[in-house]
Amino acid sequence: MSTRAGFVALIGEPNAGKSTLLNRMVGAKVSIVTHKVQTTRARIRGVAMHGESQIVFVDTPGLFRPRRRLDRAMVAAAWGGAGDADVVVLLIEAHRGLTEGVEAILAKLEEVAGGRPVALAINKIDRVKAEVLLGLTEKMNGRYPFERTFLISAERGHGTEDLKEWLSTQIPESPWLYPEDQIADLPMRMIAAEMTREKLTLRLHQELPYELTVETESWEEREDGTARIEQIVYVARDGHKGIVLGHKGETIKAVSKAAREELIEFLGRKVHLFLQVKVRPNWLEESERYSEMGLDFKDGA
């Protein structure tokens, strides 16, 4: 039997459940899921195997109305991801239906898809009644010629195997793009930084400064098989530093502990994690940060 390999872009509004779906189909935690919106800042890819097919997912940042420069770069990356893909999957939320945000995506979809198959996945079906799903399926298909419609619950795993199965038939015949055991092409450093950012998000909730980023400064493989990882949490203002550190450094200590535990689980070996908090007022405007995040700066104006 011949092998297949190709790219699938997941697009949708923030919070639609893209990361959850990606995690579900890839079967490993490569994307970061939290209850906050806009957590996905990078074009994270996960690789799923289905029979002889290798499906490479491009998890795009939420498509939303861009206001700031970083936001615009994120949106450009999201659409860029869709443009490069062999198949596009539009993920919407069952209980929210055809929102303004979905309307905005539909308006651009034909152009971005450029003749490539687009599937509709209605997620969070666990939150609505069957009648609602029927109505929404009809309405959406009246608006765009979707190749297929899948009714799924990414969280519970309903319908996600069918979607994966279908995707595996839509990608072209090709040698595999990644070694079978490689679950993500995202550099480990970036995954580690995202883990710390997730812990900060969970710990700080509403207090979390939006202008916050985590970078892995150094990653040293030691002879005893452990890894020594240094990360810097960048905040935009002095006042934010205190929030991230917490009283007597409690917050950053707890974050560091939680992130380290997750890293140990992920890597399956011992890790020493060191976090530092630094103020960098202009990080949002620094172009090299954008390229580190896989975002294209030139679209920002």
Ligand X SMILES: Nc1nc2c(ncn2[C@@H]2O[C@H](COP(=O)(O)OP(=O)(O)OP(=O)(O)O)[C@@H](O)[C@H]2O)c(=O)[nH]1
First to last CA, the chain: 49
Does 16 belong to an annotated binding site?
A: yes
Q: In whole angstroms, how far apart are CA 14 and each of 39, 105, 140, 267, 294?
A: 8, 12, 19, 29, 18
**6, 7, 9, 18: which one contacts ligand X (CB under 6 A)?**
18
Does 66 belong to an annotated binding site?
A: no
**4, 5, 8, 17: which one contacts ligand X (CB under 6 A)?**
17
User: What is the maximal distance between C-alpha atoms in the chain?
Assistant: 61
Give the footprint of ligand X on residues 142-181 (CB under 6 A). 153-156
Q: Does 43 bind ligand X (CB under 6 A)?
A: no
Does 19 belong to an annotated binding site?
A: yes
Our CB check for ligand X shows the closer of 124 and 289 to be 124
Q: Does 80 bind ligand X (CB under 6 A)?
A: no
Does 15 belong to an annotated binding site?
A: yes
Radius of gyration in angstroms for the set of CA atoms belonging to the chain, rounded to a whole number:
20
Distance separating alpha carbons of residues 22 and 91, to the nearest angstrom:
11
**8, 16, 136, 183: which one contacts ligand X (CB under 6 A)?**
16
CB of 91 to ligand X, least distance (A): 7
| DSSP class of 61 | P
Distance separating alpha carbons of residues 170 and 168, to the nearest angstrom:
6
Does 291 belong to an annotated binding site?
A: no
Q: Does 33 bind ligand X (CB under 6 A)?
A: yes
Does 123 belong to an annotated binding site?
A: yes
Distance separating alpha carbons of residues 253 and 35, to the nearest angstrom:
22
53 closest CA partner among 23, 83, 87, 21: 87
Q: Does 127 bind ligand X (CB under 6 A)?
A: yes
Our CB check for ligand X shows the closer of 30 and 227 to be 30
Distance separating alpha carbons of residues 126 and 84, to the nearest angstrom:
32
Q: What are phi and psi of 32, to 5 degrees?
A: -100, 125
The window from 14-22, 44-52, 81-89, 210-218 that contacts ligand X (CB under 6 A) reads: 14-22
Residues that bind ligand X (CB under 6 A): 12, 14-20, 33, 35, 37-40, 61-62, 123-124, 126-127, 153-156
